[in-house]
Amino acid sequence: MATNARTYDTGQNLYLLIWDENNQIWDVAAEEFEAYAGGSYDDYDIAATEKGSCGYYFVTTPTGLAAGWYRLDWRVRAGASAAESDLAIAMESSYYDGTRWYAVWGIQGTKNQLDDLNDVTEAQVNSQADQALSDWGKTGFKLASDGLGLVSTWTVSITGTVSGNSTHDAAAVKTAIEAAGSKLDHVWETTEDNEGTRRFTSDALAEAPTATGGDSPNVEIDIDEITVS
């Protein structure tokens, strides 16, 4: 069962009046809203219950109350029964969905004005999003089709593929580079293993310049000195 609650000084006789948007008041006995009449005031109050002596008061929502926007009028009973002269301590605007209450803080206007804020279609949102993205220089974005209630997914429409890109993955590229007859394969054939490292074979160096004569100096390393001839 739904309840409304508030805090106040402990040991007080709090009660609640419920007003609708047409300024009619809830009649507890008749279980309906009616035009306010001072002589029937005692039929309007819903007594609050305090939890222990902690100053926390709550009121059980009337079973016949339909979903809608209401004004909750909290007052303190001074005498044996509720009276128009009782102290009013708070007025709250709240929405009741038939199961629970939702408090509204700092929002001015009627329910119709609030409904107008929600009167936006998915197409209108997509149109505005497309315009913003166009101004930004991007295209192809749209809202997911699951509606505007809670949009949890964004999708991107891709209208084509980029031509000229290679379709090879890393393994295919490695295989192509190492294939027999490739340029890398020819270079590999000119080397041999040298205890874990690669060195050119003697055949590969057969045509290499020698270290004697010409412009190639012969470097000799001596125990006592280094001479260049």
**Two structure tokens written together for 213:** 């004569």
Residue 66 and residue 108 in one domain: yes
Distance CA 18, CA 90 (A): 12
Does residue 165 form part of some domain? no
Residue 174 and residue 76 in one domain: no
* pLDDT band, very low/low/confident/very high, at 210 (cuts 50, 70, 90): low
Does residue 193 form part of some domain? yes
Side-chain half-sphere exposure of 204, counting CA atoms within 13 A: 11
Enclosing domain of residue 186:
170-228
pLDDT computed for residue 204 by the predictor: 78
Mean local confidence (pLDDT), 34-55: 97
Of the candidates 10, 20, 44, which has an alpha carbon nearest to the alpha carbon of residue 110?
A: 20
Distance CA 144, CA 137 (A): 21
Give the pLDDT confidence of 94-116 residue by residue, as tens digits.
999 999 998 875 444 455 555 66
Give the pLDDT confidence of 9-27 residue by residue, as tens digits.
999 999 999 999 999 999 9
pLDDT computed for residue 107 by the predictor: 47
φ and ψ at residue 144, rounded to 5 degrees: -65, 155
Which range, 82-91, 165-174, 176-185, has the best average confidence (pLDDT)? 82-91
> Look-up: residue for tokens 């408090």?
103
Instruction: State the pTM of this model.
Output: 0.48
Residue 17 and residue 45 in one domain: yes
Residue 106 and residue 52 in one domain: yes
Mean local confidence (pLDDT), 141-162: 45
Does residue 48 form part of some domain? yes
Residue 103 and residue 177 in one domain: no
Residue 94 and residue 188 in one domain: no
Please give the radius of gyration of the chain, using alpha carbons only, rounded to the nearest integer.
44
Residue 21 and residue 90 in one domain: yes
Is 33 exposed, middle or buried, given 0-12, 13-18 or 19+ CB atoms closer than 10 A? buried
> Look-up: residue for tokens 């101004």?
135
Does residue 222 form part of some domain? yes
pLDDT computed for residue 165 by the predictor: 58
Distance CA 84, CA 111 (A): 28
Cα 7 versus chain centre, distance: 34
How many domains are contained in the chain? 3
Length of the chain: 229
Residue 73 and residue 9 in one domain: yes
Distance CA 177, CA 173 (A): 6
